């Protein structure tokens, strides 16, 4: 994207500072909002970090961290949550990419409906989602008005409960995943790219693997990042489904301890970003993909 810089020369008698501060020469308000926004995120994070380093009176140290990491439950729950996050991300990519693609390609009329559906998690609290799931899937699911059994009760088996929580996480991550993928597809005009590939003789599999996926990589990554963050910190679904994930562990810890939860919160934050950084590096290659016009 190119933006035309304003080329009107400022009157000579105006001072340099005055020129810099005009809204056209220097985006004062944009910067102000940016700084305010950044502070909004950084201050709590900084406070957490600061607090987590003060477990020992009057010194700055990592005692809270070593204490938190020493608890084997931490490693177990965190590993479990990461696993759930990875599965959630993979399944939502499999679900969202073809859906968003098909809508861009063939069903543009359906986009608003699907967008609305993906926004439902913002309107319907997770607690309602989890009660609904428990209500429906704790008894066998039959074909409506018949006795034909479609599904055994899910909440009674570990595998079933895991499937339920992944499904719930997919729903929670949907607004982020769908929107970022859909935006990514719009940015590269995936529809015209598809037609170009088709006219060059490519079949659907080739188009998907060689054209669509590489060009929505950045979008997938940001969707995955947000999904990861949601899953690792999630408490409600995990508590009510009774699964030993990281969220409830941190919550419990917070009720008994002060410094360790702060240390873990900050660590999770760092890990999340590190994980995404690694993905970016691994899949990086030439790096420049999105936003190419």
Report the interface residues with another protein, using CB under 8 A. 188-189, 192-193, 195-203, 206, 210-211, 214-215, 217, 286, 288-293
User: Smallest gap, in angstroms, from Cβ of residue 189 to another protein?
Assistant: 6
- Nearer residue to another protein within complex by CB, 194 or 227: 194
- Nearer residue to another protein within complex by CB, 14 or 106: 106
Name which of 185, 162, 43, 179 is nearest 102 in CA terms: 185
**Does an H or E element contain 124, and which?**
none
Name 149's Cβ contacts closer than 8 Å, sequence gap at least 6.
140, 141, 142
Taking phi first (over 0 means left), then psi (-120 to 50 degrees means alpha), and beta for anything else, what does residue 90 get?
alpha
User: Smallest gap, in angstroms, from Cβ of residue 191 to another protein?
Assistant: 9
- Nearer residue to another protein within complex by CB, 121 or 184: 184
User: Smallest gap, in angstroms, from Cβ of residue 75 to another protein?
Assistant: 38
User: Smallest gap, in angstroms, from Cβ of residue 173 to another protein?
Assistant: 25
- Nearer residue to another protein within complex by CB, 143 or 200: 200
Alpha-carbon distance of 67 to 181, in angstroms, equals: 40
Question: What tokens were used for 36?
Answer: 């305010």
- Nearer residue to another protein within complex by CB, 242 or 284: 284
Question: What tokens were used for 52?
Answer: 């987590």
Alpha-carbon distance of 289 to 222, in angstroms, equals: 14
- Nearer residue to another protein within complex by CB, 192 or 255: 192
Neighbours of 207 (CB within 10 A): 20
Neighbours of 33 (CB within 10 A): 11
User: Smallest gap, in angstroms, from Cβ of residue 217 to another protein?
Assistant: 8
User: Smallest gap, in angstroms, from Cβ of residue 203 to another protein?
Assistant: 6
Which 8-state DSSP code applies to residue 108?
G
Question: What tokens were used for 95?
Answer: 């679900």
């Amino acid at each position: 994207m190119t933006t035309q810089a304003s080329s009107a020369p400022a009157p000579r008698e105006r001072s340099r500072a005055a020129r810099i501060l005009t809204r056209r020469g220097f985006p004062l308000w944009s910067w102000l909002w940016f700084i305010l926004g950044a502070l909004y995120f950084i201050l709590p994070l900084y406070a957490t970090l600061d607090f987590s380093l003060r477990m020992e009176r009057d010194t700055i140290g990592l005692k809270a961290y070593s204490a938190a990491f020493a608890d084997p439950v931490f490693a177990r729950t965190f590993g479990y949550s990461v696993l759930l996050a990875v599965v959630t991300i993979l399944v939502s990519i499999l679900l969202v990419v073809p859906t968003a693609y098909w809508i861009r390609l063939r069903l543009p009329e359906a986009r608003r409906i699907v967008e609305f559906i993906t926004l439902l998690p913002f309107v319907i609290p997770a607690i309602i989602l989890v009660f609904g799931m428990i209500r429906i899937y704790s008894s066998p699911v039959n074909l409506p008005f018949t006795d034909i059994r479609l599904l055994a009760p899910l909440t009674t088996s570990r595998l079933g409960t895991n499937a339920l929580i992944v499904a719930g996480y997919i729903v929670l991550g949907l607004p982020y995943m769908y929107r970022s993928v859909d935006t990514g597809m719009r940015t590269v005009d995936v529809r015209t790219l598809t037609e170009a590939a088709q006219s060059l003789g490519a079949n659907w599999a080739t188009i998907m693997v060689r054209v669509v996926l590489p060009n929505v990589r950045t979008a997938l990554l940001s969707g995955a990042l947000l999904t990861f963050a949601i899953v690792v910190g999630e408490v409600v679904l995990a508590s009510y489904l009774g699964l030993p994930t990281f969220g409830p562990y941190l919550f419990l810890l917070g009720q008994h301890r002060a410094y360790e939860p702060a240390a873990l919160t900050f660590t999770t934050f760092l890990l999340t970003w590190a994980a995404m950084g690694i993905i970016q590096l691994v899949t990086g290659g030439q790096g420049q993909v999105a936003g190419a016009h």
